[in-house]
Homo-oligomer: A and B are copies of this chain.
């Protein structure tokens, strides 16, 4: 996102176009009864590891899972996520700092998403730009690792304000990272009083069942 006036004018048009595309996606997802989760965070907050564990859990319950993974480069994350059994499609943005609704539509063409109960869209690791791009999701989920400190909601308010679920990830490292959980939760609620907070550790399988229940809740 840029604050240059020339880019801002064009961005307004692009965002309006993106919003229109996202609304069409949203209607199609709803008609098909597919829950779509747009997953956003800083680089390295543990999106892929968490989604791999959650997808495995959902598949064990007999649900069908698809995933679209966005990265500037490499297909490492898609390969990791596919190991869960989810049908996975990698989008390489080649420098672009976010996914948009057009890219998601493109990704859907090669995925059996109409059979899916749940579709995860793992966005590019970036707490700024993806906040402005609606992907037609049912819910937006932002991760914040305990190792990133407590102040991220205050410093990246648009992202935390636009999310439905906030996952405090890598909770097993809270004590060694000297993470002040109460302060973090206060900061999250200060920016978004309606958000649902779930604490997880993909590594130690903490909070996974609670997250799965909330993802599937209507």
A44 and B93 contact, Cβ closer than 8 Å, known pairs A14-B7, A155-B71, A155-B76: no
A129 in the interface (beta carbon within 8 A): yes
Q: Do most interface residues of chain A lie in helix, strand or loop, or is the interface mixed?
A: loop
- Give the contact-size bracket for chain A: 35 or more
Q: How far is the CA of A10 from the CA of B6 in the complex (A)?
A: 8
CB-nearest residue of chain B to A146? B147
Q: How many copies does the complex hold?
A: 2
Q: Known contacts A42-B125, A126-B128; decide if A96 and B2 are in contact (CB<8 Å).
A: yes
CB distance from A162 to the nearest CB of B (A): 12
**Given the interface contacts A125-B155, A155-B72, does A97 sit within 8 Å of B97 by beta carbon?**
yes
A182 within 8 Å of B by Cβ?
Answer: no
- A17's closest neighbor in chain B, by CB? B4
Q: Are A128 and B97 interface neighbours, CB within 8 A?
A: yes
Which residues on the B side are within 8 Å of A125 (C-beta)? Answer: 42, 127, 155-156
Give the B-binding residues of A (Cβ under 8 A).
1-4, 6-7, 10-11, 14, 42-44, 71-74, 76, 93-98, 124-129, 145, 147-149, 151-152, 154-158, 170, 173, 176-177
Jot down 21 A-B pairs with beta carbons below 8 A, ordered by A: A1-B96, A1-B129, A2-B14, A3-B94, A7-B14, A42-B42, A42-B44, A44-B147, A72-B128, A72-B156, A72-B157, A73-B155, A73-B157, A76-B151, A76-B154, A76-B155, A97-B97, A97-B126, A125-B127, A173-B173, A173-B176
